[in-house]
Structure 1
Amino acid sequence: MEDSSQLNLPPTMSRPSLSVIEPTTPSRDHMDKLINANYHPSPSRTILSDRFIPSRTGSNFSLFGISSPPNSNSDGREDSSSAYRALLRTALFGPDAGGVVSPVTPGRNLVSSSPNRNIFRYKTETRQPIPSLFPFGPDDSVPGLSYSPVKTPRKVPRSPYKVLDAPALQDDFYLNLVDWSSHNVLAVGLGNCVYLWNACSSKVTKLCDLGIDDSVCSVGWAQRGTHLAVGTKNGKVQIWDASRCRRVRTMEGHRLRVGSLAWSSSVLSSGSRDKNILQRDIRAEDDYVSRLTGHKSEVCGLKWSYDNRELASGGNDNRLFVWNNHSMQPVLKYCEHTAAVKAIAWSPHLHGLLASGGGTADRCIRFWNTTTNSHLSCMDTGSQVCNLAWSKNVNELVSTHGYSQNQIIVWRYPSMSKLATLTGHSYRVLYLAISPDGQTIVTGAGDETLRFWNVFPSPKSQNTDSQIGSSSLGRTYIR
């Protein structure tokens, strides 16, 4: 509690006069007799009275706001009998009878002649007061308290700063064909080929061609380095060294297409239409070290947590599972979604916070606490949720959508208020990746375009525009 002696107190209020209805006005001598004398009526005399005035000797009236008279005791307490006499004289004969301070009445300020007492007051504001737990208005000077103005909402550009044509980009909800590496290189699967686009130089490189009998179903960069995993329609997983444009190895194990990939250090997880998840250690000779079973339909979403301890998987069976490093069965099962779960994102700000999105029949983004195994909240977005990505710079996330609005939404968490709704794609926004600096996203759709948007602030300043999007609108072809 701040010391009220530092406040600018209002001047002492005028003493209120008490209006007393009296049949007669007693003399002052008679009043002194009533207060000071030991008056004993005779037993034979009947006294009819509804008033009893007890002896106030030793009472302390400082609780009622009465100032200490000059004849106060040495310990600072006032002479109670003198105070009572003065108060009673004022009530009966008016304020001119003697100088006293009237008792506090409701709705009036409490004022003291002592400058060292802690006094609280409510300041009357002509404008709408700011709600507060403290009885001080925003204009009161209170040491240690500062009032900062409400920040204006951050403006998110509504148009992409760059558009890339991506011929043969498939319109398939269950595939994951776009990923952005830590070295600022974008990988895109187009038909049976994988192309690399360098965000620094805008150089396009053709990494591989799988041939007419196969096609690309997923791409995923390793967390560090230049290795890229490519999942194919034939159920294989290829590892490529992008810096040398050289295939390192090909791993088998799945019987059907591999639509989802997720890296955890040197461990690569692959999800397939055969309902299985294979854990692969690329340092080992075997194609995989373990098989995770539990989904009843195609595995279309895979994401490792930031601490690499938990793997979240989503499937076309409307299930969201969480696995740990040693489990062969899911340790957590969430069945609240009513459509396929492809969109999965772990929060980089809070351990165990997981977001998931459902397909056309669901349209909801749900939040989970995997530490406590609890469902936190649900937001109906109105459209099929295709992807989710959390900003590493601020506590915000972006979602991309399909039927029926094909929009991109930037959300503030945990209020889930919309910061921006971005439109431009004419097909479902099925693909999403985020730049290594965390400021830019790239979205891909069946309209065969990739669009780059500045949606998140930089790590150092939330109000400055990213340098990546400073260039004018351009249109480039990936061929």
Structure 2
Amino acid sequence: MAVESLYPPKTPPRRLTRSRHFTPSSTPYLTPSKTPSRNQNFGRAISKASPTPHRLSRTPYRPSATASSNTVAVSATPYYTPSESPSKRYDNDRFIPSRRNMNMDVCRRALMSGDKRSRSESDVVGGHSSSIAAGETPLQKEFNRRMFSTLCSVPLDKLDENGEPRGLFAFGRPKSDSAILGLRPQLDNPFDHDALRSMKVGCMDLDPSTNSSVAKKVLRKVPGAPTRVLDAPDIVDDYYLNLVSWGKDNVLAVALAQSVYLWHAGTGVIQHLVTVDAGSDYVTSVSWCPTPGQTRHVAVGTNAAVVHIYDGIALKKIRTLHGHTGRISSLGWNQHWLSSGARDSQIINHDVRVARNIVSRYMAHEQEVCGLKWNEDGSMLASGGNENFLCIWDAAMSGSRQRLSSTNEISPRLILKQHKAAVKALDWCPFYRGLLASGGGTADRCIKFWNSSSGAILNSIDTGSQVCSIVWSKHQRELCSSHGYSENQLILWKYPSMTKIKELKGHTARVLNMEMSPDGASVVSAAADETLRFWNVFGNPSTYRNGSSGASIFGEDISFGVPPIR
């Protein structure tokens, strides 16, 4: 009797017969397999014939020993009987897959356009989708497929013929080939956020269909002939010099022997800026200042190892900078700094605001410095020399302006010696921070892409000709290179596949220099055939279109004071 008092009062067993004593639906209870939801019971009317529901309690229930095998004991008090112990019941309760390889752009698109992409049987007419039946051409279908591939970073081989992704939820680790061409790189790489580190030599093309015609990828017509041809008599035929510069104010500076001329592209007006003293002196380099508010200033380097700074509007000299012992072959601006590279193998940084202009000297080249290019934020300088060196310098290493002795020299952060000829063509990529393109001379003929942080080569392309200049497009992932021996052409490249979009031929001698217009639509090439040719290679951006898509920024055909040579 004392033992039975530990348990709740027993209810008499009831037989499984249809009688008024047994109402299965009127007695609320919980079973481990079916648990009523609160939303299902909310607002439901309770029958008057049903007893008042009891409050849920977890009082253990133990059946009576006197109950027969063909009877079921039903208690008025709800009970809870766990099927297993808690430790076993929660083992492998739910599988949660790893979604770190999932392309979230594709998933977001699938969620936001789910009702639009759902198709019923009535949407298909004769085995074709309703979009094609409504008038969508195969070209439009392919355009939409490639647009989806670009916006969501999905390779084309991952899309079917209707533009729908295959394998939307990728839970596994990508394979080695899909890590290069797929949605995500290898996830165990701690530098996945760095786009330059994820690139590999020879595997830079994210589009597997690079063998197809590149004309299908470029949705514009690239003219094969120049839009303007100007005469440039007496231009110095020297590979190491930089004789043209296109300023932010749309004014082109051209060095012809001992003189510098300014050509205003909008009006076609020509102005004579300067003529250096007679004798062995001549102009060896020109460069407009790109700093906002100072774009009227142009630097002129000479064979006499001095740099002159002129006011391009007032047409008068402002000051002269000394420091070199050889001709000034290359110039580069970095805000109020003017960097000059010379035949004496030195690079001098001048502060044009102060009287003691020399800030620092960069010493690493062994021969003439023929290429200088600062990156967009002015933190790194790339320099190329005749000894085949490519050097990367940090502006922070120069420190504050101080009086430098002959032993106070600054070394580069990187010295890259993979080129086999002089390095003159240099340009920083505008859409990948730290990506540098360089071109070698006749013995090299290669365009190389560098990770300026580590010094690793990302890609190398043999162009077949001497590389004289490289310019990146501001609006598309393209670049244009100018060449000398033996083709003397310009080549428009698609990046990163480095497939040729167009070869522009017209010069009869090697192209010495190439500069891009301020709007990023055109380039000008100066060649040893004493002509300047303007090419609309990158196309007019939408912000510069004024109703006529073929509108040109150039004025009438003119020559620099000399009758045209035909």
- Assess same fold via TM > 0.5: yes
1:170 paired with 2:240, answer no
The one-letter amino acid of 2:560's match is: Y
Contact 1:166–1:478, Cα closer than 8 Å, also in 2: no
What is the one-letter code of the residue matched to 2:162? P
1:209 matched to 2:209? The reply is: no
- Aligned twin of 2:286: 219
More helix by share: 2
Whole-angstrom distance in 2 between the partners of 1:294 and 1:257: 18
Aligned with 2:476 (options 363, 377, 394): 394
Matched with 1:185 is: 251
The whole-number CA distance in structure 1 between the counterparts of 2:470 and 2:489 is 13
Flag the 1:462–1:468 CA change in 2: closer, same or farther, 3 A: closer
Which residue, out of 296, 307, 321, partners 1:251? 321
* RMSD between superposed Cα atoms in Å: 3.1
Alignment-derived partner of residue 200 in structure 1 = 266
Q: Does 1:295 align with 2:365?
A: yes
Distance 1:466 1:311 in 2: 37
Shift of 1:155: 1.7
Report if aligned partners of 2:245, 2:287 keep a CA contact under 8 Å in 1: yes
Distance 1:388 1:140 in 2: 38
Alignment match of 2:445 (pick from 363, 368, 382): 363
Letter in 2 for 1:476: S
Q: Which residue of 1 aligns with 2:500?
A: 418
Alpha-carbon distance between aligned partners in 2 of 1:268 and 1:348, rounded to the nearest angstrom: 21
CA contact (8 A) 2:232 2:559 kept: no
Contact between 2:267 and 2:554, CA under 8 Å: does it hold in 1? no
- 1:204 and 1:176 map into 2 onto residues whose CA distance is 20
Give the deviation of 1:243 after TM superposition.
0.7
Over residues 363-387 of structure 1, what are the superposed CA-to-partner deviations in whole Å (9 max), with x where a residue is unaligned?
Answer: 0000001123321000000000000
Per the alignment, residue 341 of structure 1 pairs with: 423
Q: CA 1:316/1:465 → structure 2, altered by over 3 Å: closer, same or farther?
A: farther
Shift of the alpha carbon at 1:140? Answer: 8.3
Q: Find the partner of 2:552 among 468, 474, 478.
A: 468
- Code of the residue aligned with 1:467 in structure 2: it is A
4+ runs deviating over 4 angstroms: 123-127, 129-132, 139-142, 150-153, 461-466, 469-472
Is 1:138–2:162 an aligned residue pair?
A: yes
Tell me if the contact between 2:386 and 2:422 (Cα under 8 Å) persists in the aligned partners.
yes
**Residue type of the alignment partner of 2:510:** R
Aligned to 2:105: none
Counterpart residue identity of residue 283, structure 1? R
SS of the residue corresponding to residue 476 of structure 1 reads: coil
Specify whether residues 137 and 236 from structure 1 end up closer, same or farther in structure 2 by C-alpha distance, changes over 3 A only. closer
What's the TM-score, normalizing by structure 2?
0.58
Structure 1 unaligned regions, length at least 5:
1-117, 145-149
2: CA distance, partners of 1:152 / 1:219: 34
Q: Could you say which residue in structure 1 is the equivalent of 2:352?
A: 282
Q: In structure 1, the residue corresponding to 2:511 is in which secondary structure?
A: coil
Structure 1 segment 36-435 matched on structure 2, within 5 A: 133=158, 138=162, 153-213=219-279, 214-224=281-291, 225-327=295-397, 328-435=410-517
The structure in which a higher percent of residues are strand is 1
Is 2:390–2:423's contact at 8 Å kept on the other side of the alignment?
yes
Q: Secondary structure of 1:326's match?
A: helix
Deviation string, structure 1 residues 369-426 (Cα, Å, up to 9, x no partner) = 1123321000000000000111111111110000001000011111111111001111
Whether the aligned pair in 2 keeps the contact of 1:440 and 1:468 (CA below 8 Å) is no
Contact 2:158 2:165 in 1 (8 A): no
TM-score if structure 1 supplies the norm length?
A: 0.69
Conserved in 1, the CA contact under 8 Å of 2:266 and 2:553? no
Q: Secondary structure at the match of 1:477?
A: coil
Structure-2 separation of matches of 1:462 and 1:362: 38
